[in-house]
Structure 1
Amino acid sequence: MSSLIQTCGNALESRILRRSALRGVMPAVLPGMMAAVVLGACAVGPDFNRPAPPTVLAYTHEPLAKVTVTADSETQRFTPGAAVPFDWWRLFGSAQLDASVDEALAHNPTLEASEASLRESQDSLRAGYGVFFPQIGAQVDGVRERTAPQSAGSAGQGTIFNLITASGTISYALDVFGGKRRTVEGLQAQADYQRYLTKAAYLTLSANVVNTTIAQAGYAAEIRATEQLIGLEKQQLEITEAQVRAGTSAYASVLSVRSLIAANQASLAPLRQKISEADHLLATLEGAFPSEANLPEIELSSLSLPKDLPVSLPSELVRQRPDILSAEAQLHVASANIGVATAAMFPSISLNGTYGAGGTSFGNLSTDSFRFWSIGPSITIPLFQGGSLWYGRKAAIDAYQQSQANYRQTVLAAFAQVADALKALEYDAQALEAQAEAQRDAVGALSLLQASYRAGTVGYLDVLVADVQLHQATIAYLEAVAQRHQDTVALFVALGGGWWNGQEQASGGQ
Structure 2
Amino acid sequence: MNDFAAQSAVSAPAAARAPSGRALVTVPGARRALRALGLAFAAATLGACTLIPAYERPAAPVPASFPQAPAAAPAAPAADAIAWRDYFADPRLRQLIALALENNRDLRVAALAIERARAQYGIQRADLFPSIALSGGQNAQRAPGAFNAGGESTVSRQYSASLGFAAYELDFFGRVRSLEEQALQTYLGTEEARRSAQISLVAEVAGAWLRLGADRERLALARSTFETRQKSYELTRRSFDLGAVSALDLQQAETLLQGARADVARYTAQVAQDENALALVVGAAVPTALLPQALGEDAAAVAELPAGLPSEVLARRPDIVQAERALQAANASIGAARAAFFPRISLTASAGSASTALDGLFESGSRAWSFVPQIRLPIFEAGRLQASLDVAEIQRDIQVAGYEKAIQSAFCEVADALAERATLAEQLDARRRLAAAAARSFELSEARYRGGVDSYLNLLDAQRSLYAAELELIATRLSDATSRVALYKALGGGWQ
| Count of aligned residue pairs for this structure pair | 449
Could you tell me which of 373, 383, 390 is aligned with 2:386?
Answer: 390
Which amino acid in structure 1 is aligned with residue 429 of structure 2?
A: E
- Judging changes above 3 Å, is the alpha-carbon distance between structure 1 residues 309 and 159 closer, same or farther for their aligned structure 2 residues? same
Could you tell me which of 155, 160, 164 is aligned with 1:165?
Answer: 160
Write out per-residue CA displacement over residues 429-455 of structure 1, whole angstroms, 9 at most, x where no aligned residue: 232233222222211211111111212
Indicate whether 1:64 and 2:69 are aligned. yes
Aligned to 2:304: 308
Retained in 1: the 8 A contact 2:95–2:290?
no
SS at match of 1:146: strand
Aligned to 1:409: 405
| 1:15-30 mapped onto 2 (5 Å cutoff) | none
Q: 1-side partners of 2:371 and 2:75: how far apart?
A: 66
Aligned to 1:23: none
Retained in 2: the 8 A contact 1:170–1:354?
yes
Pick 1 or 2: higher relative contact order, CA cutoff 8 A, min separation 6. 2
Greater Cα offset, 211-220 or 240-249 = 240-249
Could you tell me which of 281, 286, 292 is aligned with 1:285?
Answer: 281
Q: 2-side partners of 1:110 and 1:129: how far apart?
A: 28
| 1:417-428 mapped onto 2 (5 Å cutoff) | 417-428=413-424
Aligned to 1:190: 186
Aligned to 1:507: none
Cα distance, 1:56 vs structure 2: 3.8
Q: 2-side partners of 1:417 and 1:79: how far apart?
A: 23
SS at match of 1:318: helix
SS at match of 1:349: strand
Aligned to 1:495: 491
- Judging changes above 3 Å, is the alpha-carbon distance between structure 1 residues 270 and 237 closer, same or farther for their aligned structure 2 residues? closer
| 1:443-454 mapped onto 2 (5 Å cutoff) | 443-454=439-450
Which amino acid in structure 2 is aligned with residue 167 of structure 1?
A: S
| 1:204-215 mapped onto 2 (5 Å cutoff) | 204-215=200-211
Retained in 2: the 8 A contact 1:54–1:315?
no
Could you tell me which of 46, 50, 57 is aligned with 1:43?
Answer: 50
Percent identity between the aligned chains? Answer: 26
Q: 2-side partners of 1:231 and 1:495: how far apart?
A: 45
Indicate whether 1:324 and 2:320 are aligned. yes
Cα distance, 1:41 vs structure 2: 5.2
Retained in 2: the 8 A contact 1:78–1:309?
no
List gaps (5 residues or longer) in structure 1: 1-36, 67-76, 503-510
List gaps (5 residues or longer) in structure 2: 1-43
Retained in 2: the 8 A contact 1:46–1:338?
yes
Cα distance, 1:463 vs structure 2: 1.5
Could you tell me which of 477, 482, 497 is aligned with 2:478?
Answer: 482
Cα distance, 1:220 vs structure 2: 0.8
- Judging changes above 3 Å, is the alpha-carbon distance between structure 1 residues 439 and 148 closer, same or farther for their aligned structure 2 residues? farther
- Judging changes above 3 Å, is the alpha-carbon distance between structure 1 residues 193 and 108 closer, same or farther for their aligned structure 2 residues? same
| 1:218-229 mapped onto 2 (5 Å cutoff) | 218-229=214-225
Which amino acid in structure 1 is aligned with residue 342 of structure 2?
A: F
Indicate whether 1:136 and 2:132 are aligned. yes
Retained in 2: the 8 A contact 1:81–1:311?
no
Which amino acid in structure 1 is aligned with residue 277 of structure 2?
A: L
Write out per-residue CA displacement over residues 33-86 of structure 1, whole angstroms, 9 at most, x where no aligned residue: xxxx99x952113133444556843111xx5344xxxxxxxxxx7879742243
Which amino acid in structure 2 is aligned with residue 250 of structure 1?
A: S
**Structure whose alpha-carbon radius of gyration is higher:** 2
Write out per-residue CA displacement over residues 447-484 of structure 1, whole angstroms, 9 at most, x where no aligned residue: 11111121222222222222211111111111011011
TM-score of the pair, normalised by structure 2: 0.83
Root-mean-square deviation (CA), in Å? 2.8
Cα distance, 1:110 vs structure 2: 1.6
Q: 2-side partners of 1:195 and 1:283: how far apart?
A: 26
Cα distance, 1:303 vs structure 2: 2.6
Retained in 2: the 8 A contact 1:283–1:293?
no
- Judging changes above 3 Å, is the alpha-carbon distance between structure 1 residues 78 and 430 closer, same or farther for their aligned structure 2 residues? farther
Write out per-residue CA displacement over residues 242-292 of structure 1, whole angstroms, 9 at most, x where no aligned residue: 4224422123422321232122111122212221122112222222157x8
- Judging changes above 3 Å, is the alpha-carbon distance between structure 1 residues 316 and 153 closer, same or farther for their aligned structure 2 residues? farther
Retained in 2: the 8 A contact 1:80–1:313?
no
Indicate whether 1:468 and 2:472 are aligned. no
Retained in 1: the 8 A contact 2:70–2:307?
no
TM-score of the pair, normalised by structure 1: 0.81
Retained in 2: the 8 A contact 1:80–1:311?
no
Retained in 2: the 8 A contact 1:435–1:480?
yes
Aligned to 1:343: 339
Aligned to 1:432: 428
Write out per-residue CA displacement over residues 387-435 of structure 1, whole angstroms, 9 at most, x where no aligned residue: 1111101110000001001101110111111100000112222322332
- Judging changes above 3 Å, is the alpha-carbon distance between structure 1 residues 153 and 456 closer, same or farther for their aligned structure 2 residues? farther
Q: 2-side partners of 1:295 and 1:123: how far apart?
A: 38
